[in-house]
Structure 1
Amino acid sequence: MTGKLNIFFTGATGYIGGSVLSHLLTHKDAAAFHVTALVRSTEKAEKLKTLGVDTIIGSYTDKDLTFLKEAASKADIVFTAVDADALPPAQAILDGLKLKYEASGTPSILIHTSGTSLLLNLNDAQGLHSEHIHYSDLETEKLDALPLTSLHRNVDIPIMEADKAGYVKAYIIAPSVVFGNPKGPLVDRGIQSVHSILTRFLVKAAIARKQGGYVGTGVNKWVAIDVEENADLYLILFDAVRANADKVPRGYYFTENLEFSFIEEAAAISEALVELGVGNSREPSPFTVEEGEKYFGPFLLPVIGANCYAKGDRGRALGWKPQLGKEAYLEYVKSQVKVYLHEE
C-alpha cells in the first residue's frame, strides 16, 4: 500500500463503533490513516471533521446504497458496526470491495461486527435453565454448521463466501452483551452513543414496574464484555492483519470476559431502585406475559430468556487481555438505573 491507509468506517457514532473509532483515531500510527466515516446527520459529520475524519452522509436504510459500494471500492480496510442483520448494505460493501480487488488484484480487509446472539436457541430456555452449547471461536466446523436462520447469519455467511472467493479478507467480531462507559474523543464531542442497548431495555422496564424483572426463573446465562475492552480487540486484530494478514485466522472472533444470569442482573437493578427510593423490593420478580409483550415485544423477549455461551480464544491468542468481570458488570447495571431515572 502506498500513501495513507484508506479506511472506511460504518457505525462511527454507535456505542460499539464509536469506541472502536476513538481507539483508531488515538492509535500510534493514526497520522498514516485516512478515515472516512458514514454518518446520518450533518451535525455529527461536522464534529467528526474536527477530528480529521472525512464523512459520507447516509444510512443503511437508504433505498440507493451506491454510496456504500463506492466508498468500499476505495478502501484498504473497512470496519462495519451498524445493523448486523441488514444484508443489502453489507452486500453493497462487498460489491465495492470486489471492484477494488478487480482493479488492484489485492484483497481488502473487512472487519465486520456481528454478535454472539448468533449462537442462541431462542425457543429453548425461556429463562428456565442454564443449559446450552458452549462455543469457542476456534471451533470453526461447529460454527460453520450454525443454520442460516440463526441471528446475523444472513449477513455473516455472504461475508464468509466473499472471503472464500478471494476478493476480501474477512474477520467477523461477535461481541457478547456490551457494557460500560465509553471514553475518548467521540464521547467528548457528543458524537457517540454512550448506553448499552440491552441494559437500557431491562432498566427502563424495571423502573416502570419499580422492581427488577427476568424471564421464567431468570437462571439463564449470557456472557458480557466491557465496551472499551471490546474495542481493544478490534485494534489488536487491525494491527495484526496490517502486519501480516495471511498469518491471522479469518472468521469469527468472540468478545467476552464474564458470565451472568439474568436473575443476578435483575437483583442488582432492584437493589439500585430501592437505594434510590423508587423500588418496591430488593428482590426481583418474573415478568408477566403482559409485561413481556409491553416492554420487550416478540423479538427481544426470547433473547433475554435464552442462554449464550461464547469463548473468545482467538483474540486472546493474539494478545487480547480483557480484565473486567461480573462485579464491574453489575455495578454498571446499577449505575444505569440512576441514569435512566434522571432522564425520566
Structure 2
Amino acid sequence: MAARTTIHINGVTGYIGGTVLARLLDHPKASSFTITALLRNAAKAEKLKALGVTPLLGGLDDEALIEKAASEADVVIATADCDHEPSCYAILRGLKKRFEATGKRPIFINTSGTGALSDNSQGMYRSDVIYDDANADQIESLPVTNMHRTVDTAIAQAGAAGYVYTYIVLPSTIWGYADHALVRAGIANHRSLQMPAVITGSLLRGRAGVLGRGASIWPSVEIGELGELYVLLIDAVLRDPASVPNGREGYFFGAAAEFSWYEASRAVGEAMVALGRTDDPEPTSFTEEEIAKWYMGYDMSSNARCRATHSYALGWQPTKTKEDFLGSLRREVEGCIEKPFPLSSRQL
C-alpha cells in the first residue's frame, strides 16, 4: 500500500488558498493525501468535511494549534497572511519537531508576494531593475524592511538550517474570478484584492484613479495559472525535494505578463465609461487625502519587475497576456459595483 502524504494548509477560505486546496482535491493522487486545514468559520469547516478535508478551527494567532498541526505534517502550505510572523514561527517550530521525531525533513511551501521587490517609485517612473527568482544573491540584497521580507528571510534561514525544505511562492497581481469546488460551496473567496481596491476608489470618486503617474511596472498572473504553479511545485517536491531549489535558493515567482499601473487604471476608466459611471476614461492621480483614506497598506505605485526562471523550470507555462488581464477588468468593475470592496474601516 502506497504511503500517505499528510498535508496541512491555511488560508483555504481565501483566493489563493482555496484555489490551491481545490487543485489538491482534484489531484490524480488525491486519494493518497490526508489534508488538514486551519480556518475560523465553523459553518465552512463543516462544508470542508464533506469534501474530505479535516478542519482545524482556529486562527493564525492560535500558535499551539498551528505548531501541533505542523508537527504532524509531511507538507505545510501557508497561504493566509504572508506577514504574520507568529504563525510562521509556529509552523517552523512544528516542522522542526517533525524532523526530530522522524529524521526526515518535512516540506514548507509559503506564499509571499512580489511586493517584496517593491521600490519607492510612487508611480512616477518605470524601473529597469528585474529580479530573477534563480538569483539568490539578488533576492537577499532586498531590504528586510520591504514587504514580506521579514517572514521570507526567516523561512529561507530555516531551510538553510537543514531541518526543513523551504520553498517560497511570490504571486504578483492576481486576476480573474476563481471557479472551483470551494467557491461553489461558499467556502473560498473568488476575487482578487489589488485591482478591486483601485476600482472601488475610482467608483467612489467618479473617475478612474492612479497613484502618481502610474508609470511603474508590475507583473500579473491569472488565478488558474497560479494554481497550476503550486501544483507543479508540490509535485516536484513530493518526487524529490532536494532536487528542487530550496532554502536561500527556493524562490518561485508567480509572474507572467507585465503591465503599468496607468494601463490598468485606463482599462478601469474605459469600463466605467461603458457602465455609465464616468464620462472620461482617462485616469487622474489619487489625491493625498484619498491615498490616506483608502490606500494605506496597499502597494499599487511601485515597480516590482521580475523573471520567473525557477517557476518556468518546473514546467510552468502561463499563456494569459497583458491584454487578457486588462480585458478582465470590466468584470471586476461590474463586481465592485455589485459588491464594493472594503477599502478601510471608515468606508466599510
**TM-score (norm: length of structure 1):** 0.95
Amino acid in the other structure paired with 1:275: A
Equivalent residues of 1:255, 1:311 under 8 A apart? no
User: Where do 1:131-280 residues align within 5 Å?
Assistant: 131-250=127-246, 251-280=250-279
Q: Which residue of 1 aligns with 2:288?
A: 289
Distance 1:35 1:25 in 2: 9
Pick closer, same or farther for the CA change 1:234–1:30 going to 2, 3 Å. Answer: same
How far 1:319 moved relative to its partner?
Answer: 0.6
Q: Which residue of 1 aligns with 2:27?
A: 27
Q: Which residue of 2 aligns with 1:66?
A: 64
Distance 1:317 1:104 in 2: 30
Q: Which residue of 2 aligns with 1:126?
A: 122
Distance 2:146 2:287 in 1: 27
Distance 1:2 1:278 in 2: 58
Amino acid in the other structure paired with 1:11: G
How far 1:184 moved relative to its partner?
Answer: 1.4
How far 1:313 moved relative to its partner?
Answer: 1.0
Distance 1:2 1:74 in 2: 18
How far 1:2 moved relative to its partner?
Answer: 6.5
Amino acid in the other structure paired with 2:307: K
Amino acid in the other structure paired with 2:268: I
Distance 2:235 2:338 in 1: 40
Q: Deviations over 1:54-75 (max 9, x none)?
A: 0101111x3x410000000000
Equivalent residues of 1:132, 1:307 under 8 A apart? no
Distance 2:180 2:213 in 1: 39
How far 1:310 moved relative to its partner?
Answer: 1.3
Secondary structure at 2:145 match in 1: coil
How far 1:107 moved relative to its partner?
Answer: 0.6
The runs of 5 or more residues in structure 2 that have no matched partner are 341-348
Verify: 1:94 aligned to 2:81, yes or no: no
Verify: 1:48 aligned to 2:65, yes or no: no
Distance 2:253 2:83 in 1: 17
Tell which deviates more after alignment, 276-285 or 196-205. Answer: 276-285
Q: Deviations over 1:228-256 (max 9, x none)?
A: 10111111011111111111111110011
Secondary structure at 1:111 match in 2: strand
Secondary structure at 1:242 match in 2: helix
* Match for residue 333 of structure 2 among 318, 337, 340: 337
The runs of 5 or more residues in structure 1 that have no matched partner are none
How far 1:147 moved relative to its partner?
Answer: 2.1
Amino acid in the other structure paired with 2:180: G
Q: Which residue of 1 aligns with 2:320?
A: 324
Q: Deviations over 1:15-73 (max 9, x none)?
A: 0111011011000000000000001110110111110000101111x3x4100000000
* Match for residue 77 of structure 1 among 75, 78, 91: 75
Secondary structure at 2:328 match in 1: helix
**TM-score (norm: length of structure 2):** 0.94
Equivalent residues of 2:2, 2:32 under 8 A apart? no
Q: Which residue of 1 aligns with 2:344?
A: none
Amino acid in the other structure paired with 1:103: A
Secondary structure at 1:127 match in 2: coil
Distance 1:268 1:101 in 2: 50
Distance 2:70 2:94 in 1: 5
Distance 2:315 2:268 in 1: 34
Amino acid in the other structure paired with 2:28: K
Which contiguous aligned blocks of 4+ residues in structure 1 show a shift greater than 2 angstroms? none
Percent identity over the alignment is 38
Equivalent residues of 2:174, 2:222 under 8 A apart? yes
Secondary structure at 2:8 match in 1: strand
Distance 1:169 1:2 in 2: 22
Q: Deviations over 1:254-277 (max 9, x none)?
A: 011111111111111111111111
Secondary structure at 1:304 match in 2: coil
Equivalent residues of 1:107, 1:169 under 8 A apart? yes
Distance 1:246 1:220 in 2: 37
